[in-house]
Structure formats: C-alpha cells, structure tokens
C-alpha cells in the first residue's frame, strides 16, 4: 500500500494510527502542503480534491477521505475493531469522530486559514479563528464522553473516536488552546499515547517532519 500524506496533516495522522493498530505497512509518500505540492497535476490525477490522505491499496484501488479509508481498513482487516460494540455504540463513536473530522478540523485547516489571510485577516485573527474552532469542537466532544467508561474515549480499547481525537488535540495545542477544560479528553489521549501505534504515527516521527 501507498499512503499519500503530510507529516502535520491531522487527517493523515488518523490513517497512520489505523494502519499501525492493524499491523499494516504502507509506503509513505509526502506532499508538502505549505509548498502546494498537493496541487501538482500528477497528484490531482490520483486525488482530484488535492487533499491528503490518499491510500492506494496495491491492487488498483484508490481511496480518499480519512474516515472512509479507516472504515475500509476496519472492514478489510477487522482486528482489532475500530468500531466495536452494538449499533448504538458504533453510532456514538461515529458521531464523536464526525464532530472532529466534519465540523471542527475542516474550518481550521490550512486551506481555510490561507483563504482568511487572502481576505486580509492578520495572523492574530487567523490564529484566534482556529483556536475558537478547536475550543467549540472539543467542548462538544468532552460532553459526549464525560460519562463513558475509559480510559479511551469509549471503553478499554481505542476506537475511531481516539484516532480523530489525538491529532485534533495536537492541532489545538499548535493554536494555543488551553486544554485544561477537557479532562476527559486528556485522559483518553494519555491512554492512547501509551500505545506504540499512536506514538509511532506522531508527526514528529515521520520522515518528512520539519
């Protein structure tokens, strides 16, 4: 398999964690987002959105969008399950993940922040925008799992929720968010970071890290 990504991309980070948890290897092909390499015609031929990650499975299939990739990995390599439990529990896990992947991360990602700068907003305003988006999303996530057993987001093993949470907390720190208001999220993060699958997927451990 080949994983097209970028060391700091939280969406790529999610997929790296999933691959590690499944014990799967992939060649990592970096595309430097700040240099615009994701808009190279050769890459656009693979992923018309010009986003990362993209996973090529080695058999001719090309998959985009991190949640779709992770669910495909879970269906084709079911151990350990990233969406365990009954249908209600799986729906709760998906809902948590989507708060981050659909409603929080997209409005503070590099493309949006670059557009804000193009519209004349200064760095301080842009950073505050990103911090606000993170605070709002993380507050919702904290409430969603406050009464869930741990130590992970949903129980004693990592799920899709944790794969989304850990990269998003890294984003929040980068934008200066005070995370003390989210003790349940920090508890889940600490449990996750004790696992090699999460530690080895961290941005600073990637070949293209700067």
Q: What is the pLDDT of residue 46?
A: 97
pLDDT band, residue 178 (cuts 50/70/90): very high
56/52 Cα distance (integer angstroms)? 12
> Average pLDDT, stretch 110-138?
97
120/124 Cα distance (integer angstroms)? 12
Return the CATH superfamily for domain 2-80.
Answer: Glutaredoxin (3.40.30.10)
Q: Where in the chain is the domain with CATH 3.40.30.10?
A: 2-80
Per-residue pLDDT tens digits for 42-82: 999 999 999 999 999 989 999 999 999 999 999 999 999 99
Q: What is the CATH number of domain 87-197?
A: 1.20.1050.10
Q: What is the pLDDT of residue 12?
A: 98
Q: What is the pLDDT of residue 97?
A: 98
3-state helix, strand, coil in the chain (%, to 5): 60, 10, 35
Q: Where in the chain is the domain with CATH 1.20.1050.10?
A: 87-197
Q: Which SS3 state, helix, strand or coil, does residue 206 take? A: coil
C-alpha distances (whole Å) from 121 to each of 19, 20, 40, 189 are: 38, 39, 27, 33
Strands 2-5 and 27-30: parallel
DSSP state, residue 101: I
pLDDT band, residue 200 (cuts 50/70/90): very high
């Amino acid at each position: 398999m080949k994983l097209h990504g970028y060391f700091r991309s939280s969406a790529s980070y999610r997929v790296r964690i999933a691959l590690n948890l499944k014990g799967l290897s992939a060649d990592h092909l970096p595309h430097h987002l700040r240099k615009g390499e994701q808009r190279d015609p050769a890459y656009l031929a693979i992923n018309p959105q010009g986003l990362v990650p993209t996973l090529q499975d080695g058999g001719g299939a090309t998959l985009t969008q991190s949640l779709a990739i992770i669910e495909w990995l879970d269906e084709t390599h079911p151990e350990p399950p990233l969406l365990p439990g009954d249908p209600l529990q799986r729906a709760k896990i998906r809902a948590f993940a989507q708060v981050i992947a659909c409603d929080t991360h997209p409005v503070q990602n590099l493309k949006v922040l670059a557009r804000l700068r193009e519209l004349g907003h200064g760095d301080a305003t842009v950073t505050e925008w990103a911090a606000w988006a993170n605070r709002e999303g993380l507050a919702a996530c904290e409430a969603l799992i406050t009464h869930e057993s741990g130590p992970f987001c949903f129980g004693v093993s990592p799920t899709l929720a944790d794969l989304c949470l850990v990269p998003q907390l890294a984003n929040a720190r980068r934008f200066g968010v005070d995370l003390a208001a989210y003790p349940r999220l920090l508890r889940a993060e600490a449990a996750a970071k004790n696992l090699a699958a999460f530690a080895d997927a961290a941005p600073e451990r990637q070949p293209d890290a700067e």
